[in-house]
Amino acid sequence: MNIAYKVTAAAVVALCASTGFADTYPSKPIRLVVPFSAGGTTDNLGRLLATRLTEKLGQSVVVDNRGGAGGNIGMDMVAKAPADGYTLLFGTVGTSAINTSLYKRLPFDPQKDFTPIAPFASVPNILVVNPNVPVKTVAELVAYSKSKPNSLNMGSAGSGTTNHLSGEMFKSMTGASMTHVPYKGSGPAMADLLGNQIQLMFDNLPGSLPQVKSGGLRALAVTGATRSPTLPDVPTMAEAGVTGYVADVWFGVIAPKNLPPEILAKLSQEITQISKEKATVEKLAGQGATPLASSPAEFAQRIQSDTDKWAKIVKASGATVD
């Protein structure tokens, strides 16, 4: 009888502790790790979310930039943090789905060591060419590249980046002939694209948007499933004739593995609500992004699906970082 009482009492205490933890969360500031340096698209979107989460949760959500190794430094930090909801990751398709194929050795498992909470936004890449290239459509680009093999140089922010792999997928699906030229960041690549040292690039849309609007670059297609509200006249790759081509760059919140279900549910609900707010949608549009919303299970499924998808592209391209 005594033993039964002790077991029951222990269970009640545990239940109350769990419920109380969920009811009082958060009771202190939350750290949102952005695994890239300040000023880029990931940082800008992460700060947008952090500001609104601070208002909704009643506790500061502080952005902590931990760049390096393609986002792996920040990922590793979060993987090793306590699963208490106070250290979160603002991850991307690159950090959570692509790096596992690019890096032969990682100090964490992108799938097993994390708890997907909620996606927040997606940004398409955009196929842009220097105006000196005599093409105005995707079909014309493919035909031109085949008529002049290896005459076109395709820049990227680096081997294995989403803009590099978007280009590799394009080549494999169209048979286009172009030579990849990796740079250390999109800035130097953009400078050479504008100077016609390279002829095209699959750039992150926010990075090319000012040049497209000013006429410095010609946009041929966006890589998302739908047109970008920011450039409504630019077709999707599928509309331009490359059926089945989709290469979105998504951003979302992820926690260490074994995050308590009550905390997971609370954060997922708040982030999903924020992504649907009119003010958020407008701010995202200003950065060339569109909102995303799904359940934690659907988000986990997206990560796995993209991991499988990009593994094939990485293998075909021969890209490696180690």
Q: What is the CATH number of the domain that holds 266?
A: 3.40.190.150
Contacts of 76 (CB under 8 A, 6+ apart): 107, 108
Is 238 a domain residue?
no
Q: State the total domains in the chain.
A: 2
61-65 and 30-34 beta bridge pairing: parallel
Is 233 a domain residue?
no
Angle subtended by helix axes 261-276 and 2-24, to nearest 10 = 20
User: How open is the CA angle 88-111-245, to the nearest 5 degrees?
Assistant: 100
Is 245 a domain residue?
no
Same domain, 113 and 154: no
- Residues spanned by the domain of 163: 124-222
Same domain, 133 and 192: yes
Give the residue from 173, 207, 222 where a domain finishes: 222
Same domain, 109 and 256: yes
In terms of pLDDT, which residue wins out, 5 or 126? 126
Question: pLDDT over 90 for what percent of the chain?
Answer: 79
Same domain, 192 and 151: yes
pLDDT at residue 65 is higher than 90: yes
In terms of pLDDT, which residue wins out, 185 or 264? 264
Taking only the tens place, the pLDDT of each residue in 76-91 is 999 999 999 999 999 9
Contacts of 70 (CB under 8 A, 6+ apart): 94, 95, 99, 102, 103, 160, 321
Q: How far apart are CA 66 and CA 77, in angstroms?
A: 9
Q: Which long-range contacts (CB under 8 A, 24 or more apart) does 221-227 make?
A: 221/126, 221/127, 221/138, 222/124, 222/125, 222/126, 222/127, 223/124, 223/125, 223/126, 223/127, 223/166, 223/247, 223/248, 224/122, 224/124, 224/248, 224/290, 226/290
Is 243 a domain residue?
no
Within its chain, how far is the Cα of 253 from the centroid? Answer: 10
Q: What is the pTM of this model?
A: 0.84
Is 236 a domain residue?
no
**Predicted local distance difference test score (pLDDT) of residue 13:** 44
Is 229 a domain residue?
no
